[in-house]
Amino acid sequence: MTIYVPGKVVLKKESVAADSYYGNVSLLLHGDGTNGSTTIVDNSPSPKTVTANGNAQISTAQSKFGGASIAFDGNGDYLECSTRILIAQSDDFTIETWSYQLNLSADYVLVSDSATNVQIFRLNFGTPGRVECGIYGSGYPGILFFAIALSPSTWHHLAFSRSGGTIRLFVDGQEVGTSTAVLPDFYIDTVGSFSGSSLFTNGYIDDLRITKGVARYTANFTPPTAPFPEVLG
């Protein structure tokens, strides 16, 4: 940025947050916008059209970053991407988001694939305060991880990654489960429900990011303190 001062020109250097893996990001939903808006923007390098269904919408009632998030009322709300995201059996990956659930007495799915009816990232609160993560569907192994003492009406950072042959689940930066089960190819095109038909999220999602080809987390880490960057660097 250039600042003009009488008789001289002063150059001010500003730092911009960057992500060295931004080119690998397949979906990035900040959930920013005007309260009540159904315009959900994908800020990934290859933006997809995201359609809000039911009452899914931008809400300023809760947010982790940016003053807004994506609200789901647990009754028919979900987002659908125009393009299915393929995660191949050989791909490392990271699926992560900030989640604020209002009710811990039901089960919810964060991301899934509508075409094959596969659940990818599931919050299972059949046992109170338990988070369950896996790939569920015909021909897919049910891989389960559990974390006790999640709190309702609280922002939690949830991350699901694969590095080589190891799959990990992190809650608030702490590794809570691992598996070496082999996952076949799977796709993602739905956010906030199981294929747009059941297990609807009841709460808010902020900064959902899917990174293909990179396991961002392989050990305990400090959860992000700012929105995910949109700059390669």
Kindly calculate the radius of gyration of the chain based on its CA atoms and give it in whole angstroms: 18
Give the distance from CA 159 to its chain's centroid. Answer: 8
Query: What is the number of other CB atoms lying within 10 angstroms of the CB of residue 111?
Result: 26
Q: Are 118 and 187 a contacting pair, CB within 8 Å?
A: yes
| 219 three-class SS | coil
The dihedral built from the CA positions of residue 198, 146, 63 and 224, taken in this order, carries a sign that is negative
Per-residue CA distances from 157 to 34, 69, 126, 183, 209 (Å): 24, 14, 20, 23, 11
Closest CA to 98 of 128, 66, 129: 66
What is the Cα–Cα distance from 7 to 138, expressed in whole angstroms? 72
Q: Report residue 105: phi and psi, to 5°.
A: -110, 10
Give the distance from CA 79 to its chain's centroid. Answer: 12
Q: Report residue 161: phi and psi, to 5°.
A: -135, 160
55: tokens are 């009452």
Q: In what order do the strands lie in the sheet with 50-53?
A: 50-53, 78-87, 186-191, 107-113, 118-124
Look up the pTM and report it: 0.89
pLDDT in tens, the chain (233 residues): 444 444 544 444 445 689 999 999 999 999 999 999 999 999 999 999 999 999 999 999 999 999 999 999 999 999 999 999 999 989 999 999 999 988 777 778 888 888 777 777 777 665 555 666 667 776 666 666 666 667 889 999 999 899 998 989 899 999 988 888 887 788 899 999 887 788 889 999 999 999 999 999 999 999 999 999 999 87
Give the domains, in start order, of the chain with CATH numbers: 22-212 (2.60.120.200)
What is the Cα–Cα distance from 140 to 122, expressed in whole angstroms? 14
Q: Quick: pLDDT tens for 81-138.
A: 999 999 998 999 999 999 998 877 777 888 888 877 777 777 766 555 566 666 777 6
